[in-house]
Structure 1
Amino acid sequence: MKLVNSQPGYFAKRTTSILFAISLICSTISAAPNATVSTNDNNNNSNDPCAAIAGQTTASFHEAKACLDHFPFNESIATQTLDTVRKVTKELYVFNEIASSPPHIEGLSAVPVDIQHGLDVIQNEKWQSDREFQEAVALLLDKVHDTHLVYSPFCYRQFIFWQPIQLNALVRDQKSVINVAYVKNDIWPEAKESWVGCEVTHIDDQEALDMVVNYAVNNNGESKDVNTCFNNIMNTKSYFHGWDDGADDLGYHRFLPAQEMHTYTMRCPKNGTTPSQDQFDAPFTVKVPWVAQVPINFNDADSYWNNYCQSSHTNYAKRGAIGHLDVDELRMMHEGQAFDLSPESARNAAAGGKKGPYVEFITLDKPQAEVGVIDIQSFSIDSNDRQDFIDTFYNGLKEFESKGIKKIILDLSSNGGGDACAGEFIINTFFGSTPDYPSDIKYSPFLERVIKKAAETEGTKWGDYKNAKYNGTDWFTQTNTYTRGKDQVKFSQPVSLSCDRWESELTIDKNITTPWKAQDLLILSDGRCGSTCAIVASRLRISHQVAAMGLGGIRGNRMQFASFPGGESQRLSGFLMDLQQLNLQDDPDAPSPFPERADMGWTFREAYRPTATGSEMGKETELLEYSVNNADCRMHFDDENSNDVKKLWSDVAEVFVSGQCPLIHD
């Protein structure tokens, strides 16, 4: 858990009511139906808003907006884009039907979203700019509150928009407050260091806490748990582990913000006092603009479009030839190298460096010297790092044992998931084995053709799925029909993921024993433990009875310790490369590449709770994505531990050792 400023992530996300979002950004002025994209007819910067800011470090909100809105709506691009999104969501997205009519589960915020209807609404609107159209597609998918489901138009994700005031949420004197965590006076010199530690009482004339909670509820698609969304929007001096951290928070966007500036009313501690002493100077109000960090690889509108927006697949639909699917283009997007302004970790990875650290072992100081922390930062283990990850884990446990560590905190906060077999390895190391989580895949004739072809090809992902009762591809073709929302949907037989290939290539001690039992372990999570992380945490908590502590969130209500557990995600860029490997990219039902440089993610395989056996198998309420897994106890940030992770861990250890976080049997 590293305490650094939030960094840009791979996919930027935000949510709002679909029809409201469309009406908000829809223009009543119709664009020419076949308008060309490039409009830079001359080199006069006064007519080219992108050229006007090229080479600058920062730009104002209006300058950045003018550049991003310079590219007119193109009906051909829109039609091809929507066709691909329709195919993916209708045929491949496993939660398409349940999203339109989700079950009511106490503790979850699941708003009904009819994706196909929303796409029809978008198609029938007249958009003033290409950006407005592209953002409407992203907004629609975000409303499902499934972080695996995302549309990312890279063309409009190149600027980084900052609020110079960065906020966190603390509990101070038994009261929740919004606090200035730090300021970015490097992008706005008027931001004062003296504001750090000041309490924000109002934002845009609303009570600050109310504004933040409302934003979390209505404008964040991170999770169906509001507490997780609350944690996600606060751009604190918090840990960044390499995923979409801060991409849609209150102080950092990858997309154009909805307004030019915000007003903050603050009260600061009197000189020589601390905030907890409750002695403040008179409140004051400041107006703070959004400041755009400008990408570096463009000179004008034409070069901006060519470098960030133009895809080699623009005319793909007209080709129909196998050899024209540009794998290099797909790989660049899939590996996250489509940005000028990228996280440092992504830059290092692109340069061939190690992507870690993935896990760190920390021994706490007295009086919690017998407590160790395993900070599991990511399960996205690069294939070249797997053995090192395993060795690091074994060596860390041996060191803990030699130091007499009695209790272990498994910190899974801000872990975006990754390799399911890495998670399986950790569970098995502590508990020898763990029950498989049943999962299944949505059936379609197109996917049947893919799986049958994959069965004839070595080295595909489909060989990792197993079902003891079925041979070959029968696990997929012998379907089950389950109720999802208001529909009856066909799914494959239950499958689990085989890690045989992962294990066969690595040195893993399957006979290892550790001295720690379930009661000696504690899961620590801010809720932003997603995908593989969510499944690992759920298996530890449900199958092995490891207690879980929630971190942060909205004070006074229970929170989940995991989010978007889905089961398995897929990205269009990777899926298209798989199709080319199988010589199926020209299948009539295959989704086409996006005509602009963009990528899309979706949940591909749904996972069930371990209790989903017998008659419970197939019930939508047994899906991890649509069930509640609450933490057993809670820890909040305060003035001391919000900037000192060892102090935070020490506070957690004190609660843990004193027995104040017992397992709750709901």
Structure 2
Amino acid sequence: MLRTKLIILGVGSVLSCAASTLATNINTGDASLVSRQESDVSIDTLGDPCRAIAGKKWVSPKEVRACFNVIAVGPKAKDNILDVVDKTTAAFDHSRPYQKLAPPPFTGEIHENLSADIARIRRTHYKTEFDLHIDVSRSVKRLFDGHTVYFNDCYDSVFLNFLPIPLVYITDNRGVQHVHIAKDAFEVASKEFADQIDVWQNALPRNLRGKLSSLNGAKVLKIDGKDPLSAVDENAKIVGGYQALGTRQNGFFASYNVGADGKMAYSLGNFAQKSLPLDDEVILTIQRSGNISPETITLPYRSRIQTRATWTDKASYRQNLCVAQEGTNGVDAYAPGVLSQAETESPIFKFQQQPPVKVAERKHRAMSVAVDTIPKIDIVHPVQPTPVGNDGFTVSQFYLLDDRKTGVLGLGSFSGSSDSAFEGLQKSLLNGLQSLKAMGATRLIIDVTNNGGGWICVGHWLHRILAGPKASTEPHAGLLSRAPAGPLPLAIVKAIVEKNADPDWWTYHNGLGYQFPNATDFPPNYNWLQPVDKRVVNGELVQFSPLISDGCPASYMFDAPNKPLFDTKKVAILGNGRCASTCAQFSSLMAKKEGSKTVVFGGRKGVQQHYSGIVGGQSTDFVAMDTDVKTTGLKNHRDAPPDLITNSGQGINWRLDFGIWDIREPEEWQSRPADINLPLTLETANNPVAIWKQVAQLLWK
């Protein structure tokens, strides 16, 4: 009989590995679980401000906070959140010990002792669960690893908070740098926020009322009475995501990427878009174009609904958004109650920095994807370059510059959202690059701005077809990695090997998903975590598996060309440094092994710009690891995290890739400085075509 399952996938599934039951019988069969959770999670004594924002598209941040603040801290919920974060990252995320004091060149930036912060949070009294959430979230973000992210669907991006004035960082003709309001700010805001733009128009001072467009290009002299760069630096301390300071600073400003629909998308940046309703307004001192005198304006943040969940009052808000939901926890993949033809997504999917990937497209396909507490949204960019040919596949688009020699691959992600996207993206990359070459392109710009990663094997494929068959691309074109091999992972693999606990390959820890470094398959019932590589990192014992490969053949669905498509020394990797996960793996290999140039645009003088960050190896989340634990019967193991009782989740950086130049240490902590830091002007800032032309002229005059 054919076995069907209700499957929940982790962030970077080797397999769509988990199956889910309803929240009413999560691992217990207890129909009263949700009501017990609900009463523990929140104790209301402050009225019903959640009713005031129910069903509304736009509200003020103050109104959202009022709803959040009626949720008091249940002691069981607090301990439960901290236990899950602590045990999940301790057992399955071996980046954590490194981040107590990161190796050079990141030593000065990353020194987060998560164990100490968890102990501090346990001792701290919080008036509301929202306050607790902010502290837990920011503590985890101080690891500066966009894979290891704690989120809570009760608060994170329930409403997104916007301003109509995205900022850019430009360099004038004297080489002096300034913060400006983007030249296209009003055009972007008036289209994306057409139903709210009048609020901002009317908020301006009397002499500017109704003239929001006159702010385009204005120099920003102060933000809330301080130097604008103070706001940039304060944001860089709390935003998380990337090890490199320059990359976090760049995230404050507007940028772009190829979106899920194949069109150029506009990213507002951390100033004009926030995940939590912490700020009601901003006071700016500006100097408008053509004006000599400074002016002071105050603009309110406005909160727009983001969640698909609904509520009518505080009780239904808590029930639908704050307690564990279907999919919050993993399950035993072979338990009788999990058979179903339905498929359920892991809650972390919406926070991945990639297009929505269909559940069926994640099966047996390892992913490495950055996560943020702001979902990736595609705002239409006013600049829409015209692709050449018909080879584009949503996130991969191909362009040819006027010189007829420079091709451009705009690559917004290493994954796609349509059916058969895994194969379709590979085919698009091959056909599109071949078409550019047939049109006369002899050099290539790969624009990976804001590329959050995706399928690891697609990164192997792109590297292979660009560079051709050689020692750096065959038998595989990626990095070797190690997985955590502490007591709990060792027990999981032992159960799989010795007890046949996962005969149908539902778990991450099943060795069928990986290979030896020489790209040969593991034999049946092979304990691939042994022998354990033991290290002491910042005073902690860390246990890794031996080196393994991703199981990506040199050729996938299509025959790889027997010659390079481009001279890799005439390939440039371009972006704002926010190239993560699979994107970071690919760009690092192209730069360090193939001699490709790297260019980062924007960035502050005196701050080193890195062309990529958070290399990771394979990312996943609590749901996937909880499924591995339950499927192998190890939920009572001393290191196993408990089930979540809140609507929370924890991303993890599971496997770590080891270095290109120094294979003894993780690539995560090795330097990736850009060859060129390209300054922006008001005309080129956030204008992809103008940037491409400037890069081509700079590199290939």
TM over 0.5: yes
CA displacement, residues 591-624 of structure 1 (integer Å, 9 cap, x when unaligned): 23321111111111111222235xxx2xxxx322
2:415 aligned with 1:380: yes
Structure 2 distance, partners of 1:653, 1:408, is 9
- Report the AA paired with residue 207 of structure 1: D
Cα deviation, residue 123, structure 1: 1.0
Aligned match of 1:94:
94
Checking the alignment, whether the CA contact within 8 Å between 2:42 and 2:74 is kept in structure 1 is no
Cα 1:198–1:468 change in 2 (3 A) is closer
2:327 aligned with 1:285: no
Aligned match of 1:29:
none
Q: 5 Å matches for 1:445-464?
A: 445-455=487-497, 456=500, 457-460=503-506, 461=508, 462-464=511-513
Structure 2 distance, partners of 1:34, 1:415, is 38
Query: What is the RMSD of the two structures over their aligned residues, measured on CA atoms?
Result: 3.4
Of the three residues 451, 455, 461, the one matched with 1:419 is 455
Cα deviation, residue 162, structure 1: 1.4
**Mind listing any 5+ residue stretches in structure 2 that lack a counterpart?**
1-10, 12-36, 205-211, 357-372, 380-391
Q: 5 Å matches for 1:10-409?
A: 36-37=40-41, 47-103=47-103, 105-106=104-105, 109-157=108-156, 158-173=158-173, 174-181=175-182, 182-183=185-186, 184=189, 186=193, 187=196, 188-190=199-201, 192-208=212-228, 210-234=229-253, 236=254, 238-239=256-257, 241=259, 249-257=270-278, 259-270=279-290, 280-294=291-305, 297-312=310-325, 331-336=345-350, 357-365=394-402, 368-381=403-416, 384-409=420-445
Deviates more, 1:159-168 or 1:406-415: 159-168
Cα 1:528–1:582 change in 2 (3 A) is same
Aligned match of 1:633:
676
Aligned match of 2:33:
none
CA displacement, residues 504-542 of structure 1 (integer Å, 9 cap, x when unaligned): xx5221343235212221111211011111111111111
Structure 2 distance, partners of 1:646, 1:246, is 16
Structure 1 distance, partners of 2:80, 2:62, is 30
Moved over 6 A (4+): 244-248, 313-317, 323-330, 337-342
Deviates more, 1:516-525 or 1:530-539: 516-525
Structure 1 distance, partners of 2:329, 2:400, is 55
Checking the alignment, whether the CA contact within 8 Å between 1:526 and 1:550 is kept in structure 2 is yes
The residue matched to 1:307 in structure 2 has which SS?
helix
Give the TM-score, by structure 1 length.
Answer: 0.81
Checking the alignment, whether the CA contact within 8 Å between 1:450 and 1:582 is kept in structure 2 is yes
CA displacement, residues 317-362 of structure 1 (integer Å, 9 cap, x when unaligned): 9x9x96678998972414329999965679xxxxxxxx96121111
- Report the AA paired with residue 124 of structure 1: R
The residue matched to 1:165 in structure 2 has which SS?
coil
Structure 2 distance, partners of 1:316, 1:542, is 40
Structure 2 distance, partners of 1:629, 1:133, is 35
Checking the alignment, whether the CA contact within 8 Å between 1:314 and 1:594 is kept in structure 2 is no
The residue matched to 1:496 in structure 2 has which SS?
coil
Q: Which has the higher contact order (CA 8 A, sep 6+)?
A: 2
Checking the alignment, whether the CA contact within 8 Å between 1:232 and 1:246 is kept in structure 2 is no
Cα deviation, residue 156, structure 1: 0.2
Cα 1:516–1:311 change in 2 (3 A) is same
Cα 1:215–1:116 change in 2 (3 A) is same
Cα deviation, residue 448, structure 1: 1.5
Aligned match of 1:611:
661
Structure 1 distance, partners of 2:640, 2:339, is 16
The residue matched to 2:449 in structure 1 has which SS?
coil
Cα 1:337–1:414 change in 2 (3 A) is closer
Checking the alignment, whether the CA contact within 8 Å between 2:146 and 2:242 is kept in structure 1 is yes
Aligned match of 2:17:
none
CA displacement, residues 439-468 of structure 1 (integer Å, 9 cap, x when unaligned): 212211211222234454343543222225
Cα deviation, residue 36, structure 1: 4.5
Cα deviation, residue 80, structure 1: 1.3
Structure 2 distance, partners of 1:239, 1:68, is 33
Structure 1 distance, partners of 2:247, 2:108, is 11
User: How many corresponding residue pairs?
Assistant: 588
Aligned match of 2:485:
443
Structure 1 distance, partners of 2:375, 2:339, is 23
- Report the AA paired with residue 301 of structure 2: W
Aligned match of 1:663:
none
The residue matched to 2:166 in structure 1 has which SS?
strand
Aligned match of 1:465:
514
Cα 1:75–1:627 change in 2 (3 A) is same
CA displacement, residues 212-240 of structure 1 (integer Å, 9 cap, x when unaligned): 44224422212111111111121x25236
Checking the alignment, whether the CA contact within 8 Å between 2:250 and 2:576 is kept in structure 1 is yes
Cα 1:253–1:483 change in 2 (3 A) is same
Aligned match of 2:558:
508
Aligned match of 1:602:
652
2:490 aligned with 1:490: no
Structure 2 distance, partners of 1:643, 1:316, is 40
Checking the alignment, whether the CA contact within 8 Å between 2:569 and 2:594 is kept in structure 1 is no
Structure 1 distance, partners of 2:231, 2:407, is 34
